[in-house]
């Protein structure tokens, strides 16, 4: 299933494609990015792994959910990162009952409001699909992502091990 394309004033969000593997590898292998991602952070090992990730993400698309490639504008058609709405894995192994909003951008895209603008587009999508709320889980030292949560108006619930089986600062946004 393919993702709906989303547009903001400056951004184009679309599904990742296998041809984007080099761009995704540049994000997921960057030493300033990968340490913040996932339950057990590790860099993406190579472009082939990034290509497989694009294919896996394409399978996750459905309803309001998915992982979008972020293009900064028509002059930068290469994705600079991702924005996502996905089921949030519970640490206790029970089925997910919450939706995660998230983002990961190449450092060249930092400081330009791209993560916030992309996340705001996904908040609108979640509302339009009738979701009741969103969570963002962020490692405590990730000041940039913590600031995005603040700009989105999320309530900081504090440290938690409820998700992914590891420590994150949990945030919630009631829709």
Per-residue pLDDT of the chain (175 residues; tens, 9 = 90+): 578 999 999 999 999 999 999 999 999 999 999 999 999 999 999 999 999 999 999 999 998 999 999 999 766 669 999 999 999 999 999 999 999 999 999 999 999 999 999 999 999 999 999 999 999 999 999 999 999 999 999 999 999 999 999 999 999 999 9
User: Which three-class secondary structure state does DSSP give residue 20?
Assistant: helix
Smallest CA-to-CA distance from 175 within 115, 122, 113, 102 is with 122
> Is 86 buried (19+), middle (13-18) or exposed (0-12) by CB count in 10 A?
middle
Do 85 and 65 touch, CB atoms closer than 8 A?
Answer: yes
pLDDT in tens, 126-173: 999 999 999 999 999 999 999 999 999 999 999 999 999 999 999 999
Predicted confidence at residue 73, as pLDDT, reads: 72
User: Could you give all domains of the chain from N- to C-terminal order, each with its CATH number?
Assistant: 6-174 (3.40.630.30)
Predicted confidence at residue 2, as pLDDT, reads: 74
**For the whole model, what pTM was predicted?**
0.94
Predicted confidence at residue 174, as pLDDT, reads: 97
Give the Cα separation of 80 and 173 in Å (integer).
25
Predicted confidence at residue 77, as pLDDT, reads: 67
Predicted confidence at residue 159, as pLDDT, reads: 96
Predicted confidence at residue 151, as pLDDT, reads: 98
Do 117 and 71 touch, CB atoms closer than 8 A?
Answer: no
């Amino acid at each position: 299933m393919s993702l709906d394309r989303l547009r903001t004033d400056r951004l184009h969000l679309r599904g990742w494609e296998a041809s984007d593997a080099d761009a995704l590898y540049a994000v997921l292998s960057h030493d300033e990015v990968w340490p913040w991602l996932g339950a057990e952070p590790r860099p993406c090992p190579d472009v082939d792994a990034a290509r497989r990730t694009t294919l896996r993400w394409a399978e996750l698309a459905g309803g309001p959910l998915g992982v979008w490639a972020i293009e900064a504008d028509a002059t930068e058609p290469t994705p600079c990162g991702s924005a996502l709405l996905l089921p949030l894995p519970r640490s206790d192994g029970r089925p997910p009952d919450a939706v995660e909003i998230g983002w990961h951008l190449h450092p060249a895209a930092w400081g330009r409001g791209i993560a916030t603008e992309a996340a705001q587009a996904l908040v609108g999508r979640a509302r339009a699909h009738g979701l009741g709320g969103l969570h963002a889980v962020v490692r405590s030292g990730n000041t940039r992502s913590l600031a995005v949560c603040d700009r989105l108006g999320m309530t900081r619930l504090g440290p938690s091990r409820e998700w992914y089986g590891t420590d994150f600062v949990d945030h919630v946004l009631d829709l």
